[in-house]
Amino acid sequence: MRSATILDTSTARVIGVPDAVFDLVVPQGLAGDAIATILPGNPLADDWVMPLDLPGDLMVAWSGTLADGEDALFADEPRTWMGEGHQRFEAFCDGIRDALAANGRRLCFRPHARHVLSDPQGTLDFLRRRDGEPFGLALAPADLLLPDMLPDAEDHFERILEFMIPRADLLLLHDARPSTTAEEDPERLHPCPLGEGVLPRAAVMEAAWRRLRDDAWVVSSPADAATATAWRERG
């Protein structure tokens, strides 16, 4: 199992990646050797840009939403999952496919319950349609759940881990929890330290050991590095 960590832009520059303009994924313990660049924002927004001269062969991005306005990235916008959203997403992929291939880059989409790629079936269907094209999967299993799915979380995670992990280029150990304050959206999950949210350690690590490809990476943030190491060691 290959381990990696996320570096913010300023840290990446300090340790020897002067061309870092976004957060990077680097092998754990091997500073300066970027695996991927994490592209922020909504790919389906008109003003979203994707430079191709970024560190790492992989790029990570959300699949996007049709929601707009302030704090729209994770807003509840039903059009995103309907024909309009899927057509916009497919057109986006068609528009960047050749440039990605010409530059030797692979764009790994990170599914989310409020984005175009929002569940295991839709994500796997997309990857099958795009087989042989420069698109991949950055999987954070907790991203695919919403609060009203938590009563059946075990079943949801079982499908995610069984069917999506084998297709993942990156497995992101990212945890999430329901809202705890009035300022937080009660209809979605929110990031939290690894081990303090809904992500099931034993199931995730068993699936990683059994189903993750040998060339894939298990990625954690610096704040979660110690917990991620303990998770891997416990299996």
170: Cα within 13 Å, side-chain hemisphere: 32
Calpha distance 139→153 (Å, rounded): 16
CATH assignment, 2-234: 3.20.20
Residuewise pLDDT in 10s, the chain (235 residues): 899 999 988 887 777 777 778 999 999 876 557 999 999 999 999 999 999 999 999 999 999 999 997 779 999 999 999 999 999 999 999 999 999 999 999 999 999 999 999 999 999 999 999 999 999 999 999 999 999 999 999 999 999 999 999 999 999 999 999 999 988 989 999 999 999 999 999 999 999 999 999 999 999 999 999 999 999 887 6
Tokens of 22: 């976004």
Domain boundaries, the chain: 2-234
- Specify whether the CB–CB gap between 48 and 68 falls below 8 A: no
